[in-house]
């Protein structure tokens, strides 16, 4: 196995977030499940935008957020995802490359515009998302750069990528390319409803093609169709080398070999917007792992990164995560 030039390559839906404050009544009236991601079409996205309050625009996408986090930590990363050659596509490309992530997937020059996610943040800091996939539906196996995959210690796949029609094929091609090069494959389950839409495919993948799994309580419970988190945690053990299961303010548990590591959440003054919490936990964890750090340290870095992201509006880091981790003294 060649030594890796990159730490992590992320593959995901390339999305620009449109973030507005909202309230429970509005979510209910619009039929959104609070805290979850709902797919919407272009028309619904436009109608919803007209109804929401003032917003800020910020590059997003689950794996995109994770890669921005790894770059901010000092890691070397790449990204594969599809934008349109329009203004939001330029914004997405600028933001991820400006922080040093390799992003060479060509932009679509026709078809739907760059994907948008309307994120409605309630006063408790929770976020509820309506996603118009736009140009993301153009991502296919032809976009998987196998040399980029082979150059990275870990290929990281977001579960949301199972929604666009041709991405599962891209997903499996990437996983195979990673394993052929002797690399690891990581998967985030992304969202309990997304798991519900693709449960068989996810179980199949977790049983045979995933080395490192990220999930929160609702997602791992959805995967194994149980209400009992510990039953779900028991079910996943043995299927993957490492499972990092996040539990909001209760921190995370990491299952590996026959061991269970408990990791505390990092303190936060005030939870402003939980968008990106899971993405940034994964960033911290994978950064630690690719640096060869012990699993509890990987989890502690994940907790610190998640705490930074939920302390402000938006899912991309505002502070240098490298400095944050150095100051906290966990490494």
Strand spans (E) along 89-169: 102-103, 115-121, 127-132, 152-158
Q: How far is the CB of 76 from its own copies (least distance, A)?
A: 17
User: Is residue 136 within 8 Å of 82, Cβ to Cβ?
Assistant: yes
Out of 28, 29, 47, 98, point to the residue binding its own copies (CB under 8 A).
98
CB nearer to its own copies: pick between 59 and 222? 59
Out of 7, 95, 138, 158, point to the residue binding its own copies (CB under 8 A).
95
Task: Please list every residue from 302 through 331 that binds its own copies, using CB under 8 A.
Answer: 312-314, 316, 318
Out of 28, 87, 264, 326, point to the residue binding its own copies (CB under 8 A).
87
Residue 49, interface with its own copies (CB under 8 A)? yes
- Helix residue ranges, H only, 6-41: 24-30
Q: How far is the CB of 154 from its own copies (least distance, A)?
A: 22
Out of 36, 55, 256, 271, point to the residue binding its own copies (CB under 8 A).
55
Q: How far is the CB of 177 from its own copies (least distance, A)?
A: 28
Residue 50, interface with its own copies (CB under 8 A)? yes
Out of 28, 47, 56, 331, point to the residue binding its own copies (CB under 8 A).
56
CB nearer to its own copies: pick between 95 and 308? 95
Q: What is the CA radius of gyration of the chain?
A: 18
Q: How far is the CB of 149 from its own copies (least distance, A)?
A: 24
Q: Which residues pair with 244 in a beta bridge?
A: 214, 254
Contact string (CB under 8 A) for its own copies, positions 14-33, x = contact: ------xx------------
User: Is residue 157 within 8 Å of 35, Cβ to Cβ?
Assistant: no
Token digits for 106?
A: 């060509």
CB nearer to its own copies: pick between 59 and 297? 59
Question: Which 3 state secondary structure label does DSSP give 45?
Answer: helix
For residues 288-308, one letter each, b for 16 or more C-beta atoms within 10 angstroms of the residue's C-beta and e for the rest, the string is: bbbbebebebbbbbbbbbbbb
Q: How far is the CB of 148 from its own copies (least distance, A)?
A: 21
The residue to which tokens 């914004």 are assigned: 91
Q: How far is the CB of 26 from its own copies (least distance, A)?
A: 12
CA–CA dist 208, 129 (Å, integer): 30
CA–CA dist 66, 218 (Å, integer): 20
Residue 88, interface with its own copies (CB under 8 A)? yes
Residue 112, interface with its own copies (CB under 8 A)? no
Contacts of 202 (CB under 8 A, 6+ apart): 159, 162, 187, 189, 195, 223
> DSSP assignment, residue 136?
G
Q: Which residues pair with 255 in a beta bridge?
A: 243, 260
The residue to which tokens 């203004």 are assigned: 87
In this structure, the number of other CB atoms found within 10 A of the CB of residue 105 comes to 20
Q: How far is the CB of 57 from its own copies (least distance, A)?
A: 4
Q: Find the part of the chain contacting its own copies (CB under 8 A) among 48-56, 133-141, 197-205, 208-216.
A: 48-56
Residue 54, interface with its own copies (CB under 8 A)? yes
Q: Which residues bind its own copies (CB under 8 A)?
A: 20-21, 49-50, 52-59, 68, 86-88, 91, 94-96, 98-99, 312-314, 316, 318
């Amino acid at each position: 196995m060649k030594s890796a030039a990159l730490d992590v390559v992320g593959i995901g839906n390339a999305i620009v977030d449109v973030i507005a404050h909202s309230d429970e009544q509005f979510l209910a009236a619009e039929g959104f499940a609070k805290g979850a991601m709902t797919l919407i079409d272009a028309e619904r996205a436009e109608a919803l935008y007209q109804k929401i309050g003032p917003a800020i625009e910020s590059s997003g996408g689950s794996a995109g957020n994770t890669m921005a986090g790894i770059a901010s930590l000092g890691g070397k990363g790449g990204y594969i995802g599809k934008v349109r050659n329009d203004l939001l596509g330029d914004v997405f490309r600028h933001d991820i490359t400006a922080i040093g992530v390799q992003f060479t997937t060509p932009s679509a020059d026709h078809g739907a515009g760059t994907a948008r996610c309307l994120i409605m943040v309630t006063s408790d800091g929770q976020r509820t998302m309506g996603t118009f996939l736009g140009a993301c539906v153009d991502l296919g196996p032809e976009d998987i750069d196998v040399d980029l995959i082979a150059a990275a210690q870990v290929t990281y796949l977001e579960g949301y990528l199972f929604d666009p029609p041709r991405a599962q094929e891209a997903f499996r091609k990437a996983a195979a390319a990673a394993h052929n090069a002797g690399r690891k494959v990581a998967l985030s389950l992304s969202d309990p409803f997304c798991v519900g839409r693709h449960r068989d495919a996810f179980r199949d993948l977790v049983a045979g093609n995933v080395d490192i799994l990220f999930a929160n309580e609702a997602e791992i419970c959805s995967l194994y169709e149980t209400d009992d988190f510990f039953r779900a945690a028991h079910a996943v053990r043995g299927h993957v080398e490492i499972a990092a299961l996040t539990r909001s303010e209760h921190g995370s548990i990491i299952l590996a070999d026959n061991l269970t590591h408990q990791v505390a959440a990092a303190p936060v003054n005030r939870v402003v917007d939980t968008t990106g919490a899971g993405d940034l936990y994964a960033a911290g964890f994978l950064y630690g792992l690719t640096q060869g750090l012990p699993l509890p340290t990987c989890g502690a870095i994940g907790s610190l990164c998640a705490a930074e992201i939920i302390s402000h509006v938006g899912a991309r880091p505002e502070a240098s995560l490298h400095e944050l981790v150095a100051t906290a003294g966990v490494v």
